[in-house]
A and B are shown apart, each in its own frame.
Chain A
């Protein structure tokens, strides 16, 4: 565990230095997380400071995802912004914010104290706002402003939720304000207070997760930011906010009179359904993937809302496959953006003829994120649907398959247009300065490995992590 504590300085150190060092630092952090995960698997959990900094299976899963995407994103950033493409000041600012952003995300699963988790979630917003506005264009600034105000408003709503939860704990005579301590006394918490806490926390953090109808900032921020930042925002940042909600689900569930599962199903289906139909009419391929994030957050909530162990297992699995596939999608769209110089689907086409690697990456990415076999997301979505039918929640299962099907057509149809469609009439001059280079290709290839690999084979330790996560959700 001391190794995990070393995470923070490891990231701090790279703060002032340039992009290659961020890559190195991210790789070191990833190896540390792998070591810590092995510790978690053998010891069942690691404790640094009891009641404050602890890591269990569910947390370790998130840490693995964040550090993996953090690593590929650092690599891609190096290719995207290094090599004299930004002014020194810009690059320094980017690197500092990038590492602080990754650090704040890594801090969330490490803490078992809801208040600290709330601070960490707030920090992820603050450190990523200037990454979203990096390009300083009208659109990027507008996206950053919406992102900042909406998620910070959400954060202020959530803190009152946590405060009311603390009050509820005191009323029930509790003394241990941690996920575990709260779950232990959950059935004694006064229902009125728990209901308000649940509503405030779901609304507050749901804003950050991108749950419909609080998602309006998400497609803007997740499409205007530089591609590696999109990968982090979409792939893992939304998941970390969702993680905090999910951590409290067992608490809310055992408190009386609150139909948490039903609420999660409703909220999940609203997000999933809305996103599925929005996917059909997206005009911009980066927004396409942003809506797909809303869709996937909905799927995870639905899975958790089913309430069975099998479904929770699927939810944890889905969080993992989404993070891996979504980061690949954004690297691929970054490469496509480099080839076309535009994000509008109508002005693109024949990506194969322009950039082979971008076409391959986008093709695999889209198939994977849309849930086609033999990729990782297919298996996790299949597991969730199967869990629904096993628990005789066939209606939920059918709805799930219906919306995922619609989303599939939306994503696949649009991407086919980009990859194989007729070449654009008005040819944008492909920005030579932003052609795909070695670090970018390496990032794409590394990101592709788990997406393909986990579609055919799940390593034993990973399956153990899903199982531990599923237990944390019960």
Chain B
């Protein structure tokens, strides 16, 4: 009913599939990258792919919502957020190699893969009961992006890496949104254009304060607030 009679061409769908496949790969890359700079590059690539998916599915039949989503994503995530973070967070943080990862890289990769497979099976019953969608892959990979991002927040110790994990979760949610809520009123655009850069700004400020007052952005070592701790 809400889905237009004009369907995207096979070429569009194939292109989209390539894009979302790469999207998932960047998610894995961000999780296991040791250097913060590399995680940031992973995030930039992932955001570009998110914008590309919205663009490819939005050009034919023309969907103003998806095109707007592609445009704001393009401006805010790969450009604005790295800019804000580079300005706020001291340079030495980016070149740092995170040697204190809680889980080894191989194990991390295996866990991330398992989460992606789980997300696929998680999405299957939803796809069966919901209205038919233009792109099924966006839902499964969107859920996978969310789960892998969550794992990144849990597994990484560095402040910036955790922040990028949260943003990767949002990327996953919006990748799914392209398929399941292409006409979600205004919200996605508003959120990406306004909310997400603000998030980077605030958490970036907090990271800078951590660097300045605590002397480290290794947030994994922040464990002084406990019930039994006499502080």
Give the B-binding residues of A (Cβ under 8 A). Answer: 113, 115-116, 118-119, 122-123, 126-127, 129-130, 133, 136-139, 141-146, 148-149, 152-153, 156-157, 159-160, 163-164, 166-168, 170-171, 173, 177, 190-193, 196, 219-220, 224, 278, 281-283, 287, 344, 346
Residues of B within 8 A of A122 (CB): 191, 195, 199
Additional 5 contacts, C-beta under 8 A, given A149-B163, A159-B191, A160-B172: A141-B222, A148-B202, A167-B180, A170-B131, A281-B227
State whether B129 touches A156 (Cβ < 8 A).
no
Q: Which of A136, A192, A281 contacts B125 (CB 8 A)?
A: A192
Give the distance in Å from the alpha carbon of A119 to the alpha carbon of B230 in the complex. Answer: 37
State whether A283 touches B126 (Cβ < 8 A).
no
Give the distance in Å from the alpha carbon of A193 to the alpha carbon of B129 in the complex. Answer: 7
Tell me if B's interface is mostly helix, strand, loop or mixed.
helix
Q: List 5 A-B contacts (CB under 8 A).
A: A119-B195, A145-B219, A148-B202, A149-B219, A190-B129
Q: Which of B130, B172, B214 contacts A167 (CB 8 A)?
A: B130
State whether A126 touches B202 (Cβ < 8 A).
yes
State whether B126 touches A196 (Cβ < 8 A).
yes
State whether B202 touches A130 (Cβ < 8 A).
yes
State whether B150 touches A153 (Cβ < 8 A).
yes
Closest 8 CB pairs of A and B: A115-B187, A156-B169, A167-B180, A171-B131, A142-B222, A192-B129, A190-B129, A160-B173
State whether A138 touches B198 (Cβ < 8 A).
no
Give the distance in Å from the alpha carbon of A177 to the alpha carbon of B185 in the complex. Answer: 9
Interface residues on B, range: 35 or more
Give the distance in Å from the alpha carbon of A193 to the alpha carbon of B123 in the complex. Answer: 10
Residues of A within 8 A of B191 (CB): 118-119, 122, 159
Q: Which of A119, A126, A166, A191 contacts B181 (CB 8 A)?
A: A166
Residues of A within 8 A of B130 (CB): 167-168, 171, 190, 192-193
Residues of A within 8 A of B199 (CB): 122, 126, 152
Q: Is B2 an interface residue (CB 8 A)?
A: yes
State whether B222 touches A156 (Cβ < 8 A).
no
State whether A139 touches B225 (Cβ < 8 A).
yes
Q: Is B55 an interface residue (CB 8 A)?
A: no
Residues of A within 8 A of B176 (CB): 160, 163
| Residue in B130, B146, B170 with the greatest tally of chain A CB atoms within 10 Å | B130
State whether B209 touches A116 (Cβ < 8 A).
no
Q: Is B224 an interface residue (CB 8 A)?
A: yes
Tell me if A's interface is mostly helix, strand, loop or mixed.
helix
State whether B149 touches A156 (Cβ < 8 A).
yes
Chain B 176-205 residues near chain A, CB threshold 8 A: 176-177, 180-181, 184-187, 190-191, 195, 198-199, 202-203, 205
Residues of A within 8 A of B181 (CB): 163, 166-167, 170
B162 to chain A, nearest CB (A): 6
Residues of A within 8 A of B206 (CB): 129-130, 133, 141, 144-145, 148
Q: Which of A116, A152, A156, A190 contacts B187 (CB 8 A)?
A: A116
Nearest residue in A to B3 (C-beta to C-beta)? Answer: A170
A366 to chain B, nearest CB (A): 20
State whether B169 touches A118 (Cβ < 8 A).
no
Give the A-binding residues of B (Cβ under 8 A). Answer: 1-2, 125-126, 128-131, 142-143, 146, 149-150, 153, 159, 162-163, 166, 169-170, 172-173, 176-177, 180-181, 184-187, 190-191, 195, 198-199, 202-203, 205-206, 209-210, 212-214, 219, 222-225, 227-228, 230-231
Q: Which of A116, A126, A192 contacts B128 (CB 8 A)?
A: A192
Q: Which of A115, A136, A156 contacts B209 (CB 8 A)?
A: A136
B31 to chain A, nearest CB (A): 15
State whether B210 touches A153 (Cβ < 8 A).
no
Give the distance in Å from the alpha carbon of A229 to the alpha carbon of B130 in the complex. Answer: 43
State whether A159 touches B170 (Cβ < 8 A).
yes
State whether A167 touches B187 (Cβ < 8 A).
no
Give the distance in Å from the alpha carbon of A344 to the alpha carbon of B209 in the complex. Answer: 26
| Residue in B129, B142, B169 with the greatest tally of chain A CB atoms within 10 Å | B129
Residues of B within 8 A of A160 (CB): 142-143, 146, 172-173, 176
| Residue in B181, B205, B225 with the greatest tally of chain A CB atoms within 10 Å | B225
Taking A115-B187, A193-B126 as contacts, is the C-beta distance between A167 and B131 under 8 angstroms? yes
A248 to chain B, nearest CB (A): 16
A114 to chain B, nearest CB (A): 9
Residues of A within 8 A of B149 (CB): 156
Nearest residue in B to A113 (C-beta to C-beta)? Answer: B185
State whether A137 touches B203 (Cβ < 8 A).
no
Taking A137-B213, A159-B173 as contacts, is the C-beta distance between A129 and B202 under 8 angstroms? yes
State whether B159 touches A145 (Cβ < 8 A).
yes
Nearest residue in B to A190 (C-beta to C-beta)? Answer: B129
State whether B205 touches A130 (Cβ < 8 A).
yes
Nearest residue in B to A129 (C-beta to C-beta)? Answer: B202
State whether A136 touches B213 (Cβ < 8 A).
yes
State whether A138 touches B224 (Cβ < 8 A).
yes
A153 to chain B, nearest CB (A): 6
B217 to chain A, nearest CB (A): 10
Give the distance in Å from the alpha carbon of A141 to the alpha carbon of B223 in the complex. Answer: 11
State whether A142 touches B225 (Cβ < 8 A).
yes
Give the distance in Å from the alpha carbon of A282 to the alpha carbon of B1 in the complex. Answer: 56
Taking A116-B187, A177-B185 as contacts, is the C-beta distance between A142 and B224 under 8 angstroms? yes
A274 to chain B, nearest CB (A): 12
Residues of B within 8 A of A166 (CB): 180-181, 184
Nearest residue in A to B166 (C-beta to C-beta)? Answer: A152
State whether B225 touches A220 (Cβ < 8 A).
yes
B178 to chain A, nearest CB (A): 10
Nearest residue in B to A197 (C-beta to C-beta)? Answer: B126
State whether B126 touches A278 (Cβ < 8 A).
no
Give the distance in Å from the alpha carbon of A346 to the alpha carbon of B184 in the complex. Answer: 54
A194 to chain B, nearest CB (A): 10
